[in-house]
Chain A
Amino acid sequence: MERSRKFRRIGVFEVFNALLMLAVCFLTLYPMWFVFINSLNAPQQAMLGTVNWFPKEFSLASYSVVFNDKSLMHGFYITTLRTVIGTVAHVLFTAIVAYGMSKSNLIGRKIYLKIALITMLFSGGLIPSFILMTKLGLYDNFWVFIIPAMYNFFNMVIFMSFFRTIPDSLEESAKVDGASDYGVLFRIVLPNSMAVLATISLFSAVYHWNDYYQGVIYIRSQDQLPMQTMLYKIIAENSMSFMQQQAMAQFGARLPGNSIKFASMMVATLPILVFYPFIQRYLVKGVMIGAIKG
C-alpha cells in the first residue's frame, strides 16, 4: 500500500498537474512582475517598447517623477484618507446596526429585517442615485466616498450571525454589573469578535483603496480625486497630470510616459501587495462565512 502510493506520487499525472499549477502561479504573478520591472526601467528605454523579463536599464527616475507629482501624491493622500475613514465608518456603523438586529427581543425586528432584505432585491440604480447625491450636496464632495458606503447588507448579516454565536451568559453578566447595551457591545461583544471585525475591515479597506468608479461619477474637481481615478484617467483616457507633462518635456520624446505609468501603478498597488500575505487568510475566511450565509 505504502509502496503503491509512492509510485503514484511521481506518475505522469502528478508531473503534469504540478506543471499546470506552476503555470497558474506564473500567469497570476507575471502581470504584477511586468508592472514592477517596467516601472524600474529608464524612461528613455521605455519609449523603445516594453520589457518582458528584466529592466533593460535600471533606473528609479520614474519613481522620482511619481513621488514629485503633487497631484498624484494628493490623490494618494485622498485615497488613504478615504480608506481609513471609510473603513472605520463602515465597520462601526454596520456592526452597531447588526448588534441591534441580532437581539431577538428587539421590537420590530421582523419589519426591520424585511426593510433590509428588500434593498437586496430591488434598487434604484445609477441615475436615481446620482440625482440623490446631487440633491444631498454630495456631488464633488469627499463624503460621497464615505456615507453611501457606510452600510452593506451582506456584511450586516455576517456580523449579525457572528454576534448571535456569542454566549448570552457573557453579555448577561456584564448587564448584571450595570453595563448599558452600548457598554456590552463595545466592551464584551466587539472584543470577542476580532476575527470577523478584521475580515470586514479588510474587505472594506480593499474596496475603498481599489475603487475608481465613484471618483469618475461623483468627483469633478482635481483636488478631490482619489489616486485610482487619476490612474484611470492617465491609463484609459491617456491624459497626463501636470508633473508628468513636465517630465515628458524633460525626457523629450512622445511618451516616456510608459515607465512613469507603471511606476504610478506600482505605487497604487504597493499597499495591497505588501499587506496581502498577512491579510489573505482573513479575506478567505470572509468569503467562507459569506458563502455559508448566502
Chain B
Amino acid sequence: MFQYRTGQIKTFFRQWQLQSMVIPGIIWMFIFCYIPMFWLIIAFMDFSIAKPMLQSPFVGLKHFQDFITDDRFWRSIRNTLGMSSIKLLLGFPIPIFFALMLNEIRTIRFKRTVQTISYLPHFIAWTIFGGIMLNWLGEGGVINQLMMALGLQDREILFNSDAKYFWWITYFSDTLKETGWSAIIYIAAIAGIDPGLYEAAELDGANRWQRMWHITIQSIRPTIAILFILAVSGILGSNFEQIFMLKNNMNMKMAESLDLYIYNMGLVSGRHSFSTAVLFVRSIVALGLLFLANYTSKKLTGDSIF
C-alpha cells in the first residue's frame, strides 16, 4: 500500500509537464467555481461587501424567512414558471415540426440554404434582436402596422408598455430567434435514419404522413425525450439576456423572472445576503430537478445525461 503510494508520487513528479497543464485548470475551477459556492454561506449572514470576508454576523434563516414572505418573490416564481411553460408547451414542438418539414424538401441545395439561413438569428446578439423587437412592438412599429392592416386591431397598442403581453413577447421573439438553431439536432437525428426503412414503408403502401409518424418521429423519439426532459429540468431558468433587454418599468410585474429578481435585489438594491438566500434555494432545487430529469430519462429511454 505504502509502496504503491510512493510509486504514484514518483509518477506524479515524473509527469510534471502533464500535471502543470491540468493543475492551473483545477486552480481556476477552485477560484471561479468553488469559492462562489463556498460564499453561498453569506445567505446565513448579514453580509457587507465593505467588511473583510466572514466577519459579518450570522443571522440564521432570517433572509430565507424574508423572501418567503415577500410577494415579489412569489410573483417572480409565477413569472418564471409562466414564461417557461409557454416556451415548453408551445415552443418545444416548433423546431421538431420545422425539422420534419425541412426533411421533406427534396432539392438538396434549397434545403441547405434554408437551413443555413434559419440559424442566422441565433448568432445575432440580444441587444440587436431585442432592439428590433422593441422597435416593432412600439408606436408605428411593424406589428401595429400589420395588425391594423389585417383588421385585427383598430388602434395602436404599445405592446411593450402593457405587462399582459410580456410573456407572449418573450415566447414569439425566442421562437423567431432560436427555431432554426434548435432544429439542428433533430435534423441530424433524422439524417441518421436508415433510408431502407422508408423504402420498405413505401412498398407497403404507407403514405407521407404515415411514414412521417411511424418512421421519422419514432426514430427520433429518444432525442425528443432527452431534450424535453432537459427543458423541463431548466424550468426555473429564464433567458436573462432576452428579458433584461425587453423589460421596462411598465412591464416589470410580468417580466421579473427569478433571475431578474435576484439581480434586482442583489445588485440594484444591494441586498447581497437576501439575494444569495434566494440563489441558494434555487441552486438546490435546480440540482434536484437535474437529478430527477436524469433519472426519468434513464427509466424511459435508457439514455442518461451523466
Smallest beta-carbon distance B126→chain A, Å: 7
Smallest beta-carbon distance A88→chain B, Å: 16
Question: Which single residue of chain A is at the shortest CB-CB distance from B286?
Answer: A122
Q: Is the CB of B121 within 8 A of A119?
A: no
For A287, give its contact among B18, B25, B40, B184 (CB under 8 Å): B184
Smallest beta-carbon distance A224→chain B, Å: 17
Q: How far is the CA of A236 from the CA of B127 in the complex (A)?
A: 8
Question: Which single residue of chain B is at the shortest CB-CB distance from A150?
Answer: B28
Q: Please, which residues of chain B bring their CB within 8 A of the CB of A291?
A: 185, 188
For A13, give its contact among B11, B17, B104, B127 (CB under 8 Å): B104
Q: Is the CB of B279 within 8 A of A126?
A: yes
Q: How far is the CA of A156 from the CA of B8 in the complex (A)?
A: 25
Interface 1/0s, chain B 140-151, versus A by CB < 8 A?
A: 111001000000
Q: How far is the CA of A97 from the CA of B267 in the complex (A)?
A: 33
Q: Is the CB of B141 within 8 A of A50?
A: yes
B242-259 interface (Cβ within 8 A of A): 244-246, 248, 259
Smallest beta-carbon distance A139→chain B, Å: 10
Q: Which of B29-37, B64-72, B83-91, B163-171 contacts A (4 or more CB under 8 A)?
A: B29-37
Interface 1/0s, chain A 194-226, versus B by CB < 8 A?
A: 000000000000100111110011000000000
For A125, give its contact among B114, B179, B244, B282 (CB under 8 Å): B282
Question: Which single residue of chain B is at the shortest CB-CB distance from A32?
Answer: B124
Q: Please, which residues of chain A bring their CB within 8 A of the CB of B102?
A: 21
Q: How far is the CA of A261 from the CA of B135 in the complex (A)?
A: 11
**Interface membership of B117, Cβ < 8 A:** yes
Q: Is the CB of B49 within 8 A of A181?
A: no
Q: Is the CB of B279 within 8 A of A127?
A: yes
For B126, give its contact among A100, A185, A212 (CB under 8 Å): A212
Q: Please, which residues of chain B bring their CB within 8 A of the CB of A128?
A: 35-37, 39-40, 42, 276, 279
A-B contact count (CB 8 A): 256
Q: Is the CB of B117 within 8 A of A216?
A: no
Q: How far is the CA of A201 from the CA of B45 in the complex (A)?
A: 41
Q: A50-B135, A93-B24, A132-B36 are in contact. Are A107 and B262 (CB under 8 A)?
A: no
**Interface membership of B152, Cβ < 8 A:** no
Q: Is the CB of B185 within 8 A of A287?
A: yes
Smallest beta-carbon distance A99→chain B, Å: 6
**Interface membership of B132, Cβ < 8 A:** yes
**Interface membership of A121, Cβ < 8 A:** yes
**Interface membership of B61, Cβ < 8 A:** no
**Interface membership of B266, Cβ < 8 A:** yes
Q: A25-B118, A103-B18 are in contact. Are A20 and B101 (CB under 8 A)?
A: yes
Q: Please, which residues of chain B bring their CB within 8 A of the CB of A272?
A: 123-124
Q: Is the CB of A100 within 8 A of B22?
A: yes
Q: Which of A60-68, A108-116, A165-173, A242-250 contacts B (4 or more CB under 8 A)?
A: A108-116
Q: Please, which residues of chain B bring their CB within 8 A of the CB of A97?
A: 21-22, 24-25
The SS class assigned to the A binding surface is helix
**Interface membership of A193, Cβ < 8 A:** no
For A52, give its contact among B142, B266, B306 (CB under 8 Å): B142
Q: Is the CB of B26 within 8 A of A182?
A: no
Q: Please, which residues of chain A bring their CB within 8 A of the CB of B22?
A: 97, 100-101, 106, 112
Q: Please, which residues of chain B bring their CB within 8 A of the CB of A232?
A: 127, 244-245
For A100, give its contact among B19, B130, B246 (CB under 8 Å): B19
Question: Which single residue of chain A is at the shortest CB-CB distance from B230?
Answer: A294
Q: How far is the CA of A129 from the CA of B134 in the complex (A)?
A: 31
Q: Is the CB of B262 within 8 A of A24?
A: no
**Interface membership of A35, Cβ < 8 A:** yes
Q: How far is the CA of A126 from the CA of B179 in the complex (A)?
A: 28
**Interface membership of A77, Cβ < 8 A:** no
Smallest beta-carbon distance A137→chain B, Å: 13
Q: How far is the CA of A60 from the CA of B38 in the complex (A)?
A: 54
Q: Is the CB of A206 within 8 A of B132?
A: no
Question: Which single residue of chain B is at the shortest CB-CB distance from A34?
Answer: B132
Q: How far is the CA of A147 from the CA of B28 in the complex (A)?
A: 9
**Interface membership of B290, Cβ < 8 A:** yes
Smallest beta-carbon distance B191→chain A, Å: 10
**Interface membership of B74, Cβ < 8 A:** no
Q: How far is the CA of A219 from the CA of B184 in the complex (A)?
A: 35
Q: How far is the CA of A120 from the CA of B230 in the complex (A)?
A: 14
Known: A112-B26, A288-B185. 19 other contacts (CB 8 A): A49-B140, A50-B135, A50-B140, A94-B25, A97-B22, A97-B25, A115-B29, A123-B33, A124-B283, A125-B283, A127-B272, A127-B279, A128-B276, A128-B279, A129-B36, A130-B266, A231-B127, A231-B128, A258-B135
- Would you list 25 pairs from A and B whose C-beta atoms are within 8 A, ordered by A residue? A24-B98, A24-B180, A28-B117, A29-B117, A93-B25, A115-B26, A121-B287, A122-B37, A124-B37, A125-B276, A127-B275, A127-B279, A128-B42, A131-B272, A151-B29, A210-B123, A210-B124, A213-B241, A236-B131, A236-B134, A236-B245, A236-B246, A269-B125, A283-B123, A291-B185
